[in-house]
Amino acid sequence: MPIRKIILANPRGFCAGVVRAIEVVERALDLLSTPIYVFHEIVHNQHVVKRLSGRGVVFVNHLDEVPDNSVCIFSAHGVSPAVRQLAAGKQLQVVDATCPLVTKVHMEAIRFTREGYSLVLIGHPGHDEVEGTMGEAPMHLVSSVEDVENLQVSDPDKVIYLTQTTLSLDDTAQIVEALRARYPRLTAPPKDDICYATQNRQNAVKDVARQVDLLLVVGSSNSSNSLRLTETAQAAGVPAYLVNDESEIRPEWLDQAEVVGVTAGASAPEVIVMQVVDRLRSSRAVPVEGLELEDERVHFAIPQELVQIAAE
């Protein structure tokens, strides 16, 4: 069945934290000699990582892979205090590209621990962001309603939950409900921890899912927010697939699809979205809706330590 229409979800793709993190690495590459070390993937996207590797960035998962006194950039997902200490011990020149919205969750963890709360973090075990946040203070990690049943906290009347920034809104609401049923005096974070970009992209997918037969999500398989977009469409009853780029589109997915939706996770470049669209059109004049990308008007300044390096 030929594709009749392509609908692009809006907003999609890069968020302010990703734009800033990539800009930090690019500016460092312009200012400093290579190699430049980046602790963890700067953002969870294969294309971004490959492009920056080609310019002389070395991505590491352990700081012992970084020579003493080198420049080391921390990724958008944040790091634990233990990693900061290790970096100080190696006299690394650190540039911190942690998204300010991740830092906000770290600050909440520190503040509410000081105030005597038991902390419950809703998140995915092993994710870079979760490991960084959990290093800030003692906390319990839950990733499902079942996990809530096994929780043991010291003071059930003084429990607060925090969340990873890139979770499913709907799944998180269910986990919070289960927490509230168990701890009726549960405290919520002062302001949503699931970030604006995650929320906006999931809401856009819900909108698009009502109009399409199939949704393609551009993103890498280790990108939490991209995976959640796929699940959001599937929960709305629409087949959805995560693709790194157009080469991963399988022809059989398109067999029954007259109207195809396309979106992208917060770490996926728009240029890849356009390549996916071109492949779907396969040189026919299929109309594309939503080409104009909505400006979310969120921008973060680059870290001060990079401004200082630039001034030297």
Nearest residue (beta carbon) to ligand SF4: 17
Determine the Cα–Cα distance for residues 49 and 77; give it in Å rounded to an integer: 14
Closer CB to ligand SF4, residue 70 or residue 198?
198
Say whether 129 is catalytic: yes
Cβ of residue 166: shortest distance to ligand SF4, in angstroms? 5
What's the token pair of residue 114? 């000081």
Question: Per DSSP, what are the bridge partners of residue 263?
Answer: 217
Question: Per DSSP, what are the bridge partners of residue 39?
Answer: 60, 74
From the list 41, 108, 129, 136, the catalytic residue is 129
Cβ of residue 265: shortest distance to ligand SF4, in angstroms? 8
Closer CB to ligand SF4, residue 24 or residue 257?
24
> What does the binding site for ligand SF4 look like in residue numbers (CB under 6 A)?
15-18, 76, 99, 101-102, 165-166, 195, 197-198, 225, 266
Separation in Å, CA 21 to CA 63, 85, 127: 19, 21, 18
Per DSSP, which regions of the chain are E strands? 5-8, 36-39, 57-60, 71-74, 93-96, 118-122, 140-142, 159-163, 214-218, 240-243, 259-264, 288-289
Cβ of residue 307: shortest distance to ligand SF4, in angstroms? 20
Nearest to 227 by CA among 219, 239, 236: 219
Cβ of residue 278: shortest distance to ligand SF4, in angstroms? 26
- Helices 16-31 and 304-311 pack at an angle, to 10 degrees, of 20
The set of catalytic residues is 129
